[in-house]
Amino acid sequence: MWNICLVGFGNVAQGLARILADKRERLAGKYGFEFRITSVVTARRGCLANEQGLDPAMLLEAMERDGGLWGCEGARLIDPLEAIKSAHTDILVETTPTSLVRGEPGLTHIRTALKAKKHVVTSNKGPLVRALSELTALAEGSGVSFRYEGVIMSGTPALNLVRETLAGCDIQHVQGIVNGTTNFILTEMEKGKTYEEALAEAQRLGIAEADPTADVEGWDAAVKACIMAVLFMDATLELEDVERTGITEVTQETIQTALSRGKRIKLVAEVYREKGRVKAMVAPVAVPLVRPLAGIMGAMNAITYTTDHLGDITIVGPGAGRIETGQALLSDLLAIHRIHGAADHPSRSPY
């Protein structure tokens, strides 16, 4: 039985809770994965702890009914670091809001867990872009897993594809559409909308945030490019090293001119080697229509990996969403179960 501590209980963690509530029996029967949510810690929505386990369906009902956990019996303030270090925590699931400046508070949460020899699963890009190499070394030194499938393409397995299926291949070049908001806006502009109209539509549909700066100015894609450079090409790269141009200056003329030349404007994140150095960039690119990335429309994402053994491999899928990112967290939990399953956590992998 795995004891899980949830730090953060927003959309992503609620997506995981929904999956765990719906599939508890299947996860136990097919994978041998049994769990208890022993604590939930949030900054403003209340906290709960019960070493016998908290029902994920109950947590979701409380959020829907009250907008938080304060109405639940036993709700109280809980120090997240104490919950993480507790003997009743085996795995930390860290989903607090992303901070690109310092990576906090997620960075401290993850450091604390790894030092306490707890496994960590996260969808939080901030700690990774600021301290991925350090956190990886901490996990290795403590003999625990540090997993983060959801940081690039949500539940679409962009990282596991490279880690597992492409193991042994050298990744020579990475090109991807890794931000659904900007891809949606560019798709709508191709249909005739202005940038402002397309952005407003994205916000109306909940695809774009009220403040879309991180998306439209390319920061979100730059973070992902930086992480991919470190992971896939062993680069020592900071976020500030990524050349970045957003889509705010893209016009109808830009889009139509590209189409007339057999190309389509896409905000592309690219990682490549130049003169022995790994570089990363994010910019609107005129992609030839014959290339897979040119056909990615709406809020979908895609990455093309250029490898030495297999040539180009492209993976396509949703890059955001509550259930989609919850699935990424689940896949990481199951990976921990497969790798570290022992007498007290028996693994029955179907693979």
Kindly list the strands in the beta sheet with 2-7, ordered across the sheet, starting from the edge strand earlier in the chain: 48-54, 35-41, 2-7, 91-94, 119-122, 146-147
pLDDT at res. 351 = 41
Instruction: Tell me the pLDDT of the chain (351 aa) as tens digits.
Output: 999 999 999 999 999 999 999 999 999 999 999 999 999 999 999 999 999 999 999 999 999 999 999 988 888 889 999 999 999 999 999 999 999 889 999 999 999 999 999 999 999 999 999 999 999 999 999 999 999 999 999 999 999 999 999 999 999 999 999 999 999 999 999 999 999 999 999 999 989 989 999 999 999 999 999 999 999 999 989 999 999 999 999 999 999 999 999 999 999 999 999 998 999 999 999 999 999 999 999 999 999 999 999 999 999 999 888 999 999 999 999 999 999 985 455 555 444
CATH number of 166-318: 3.30.360.10
DSSP 180-232: HHHHHHHHHHHTT--HHHHHHHHHHTTSS-SS-HHHHTTHHHHHHHHHHHHHH
For the chain, domain boundaries:
2-155+323-340, 166-318
C-alpha 196, offset from chain centre: 27
Count CB atoms within 10 A of the CB of residue 5. 26
Does the fold of domain 166-318 match that of domain 2-155+323-340? no
Q: Is residue 263 within a helix (H) or strand (E), and if so which, with residue range?
A: strand 263-274
pLDDT at res. 343 = 41
pLDDT at res. 101 = 87
- The residues, any chain, with a CB within 8 Å of residue 342's CB and separated by 6 or more, are none
One of 125, 224, 263, 266 is an active-site residue; which one?
Answer: 224
The CATH superfamily of 2-155+323-340 is: NAD(P)-binding Rossmann-like Domain (3.40.50.720)
Return the SS3 of 140.
helix
Q: How far apart are CA 318 and CA 324, in angstroms?
A: 7
- The residues, any chain, with a CB within 8 Å of residue 206's CB and separated by 6 or more, are none
**224 labelled catalytic:** yes
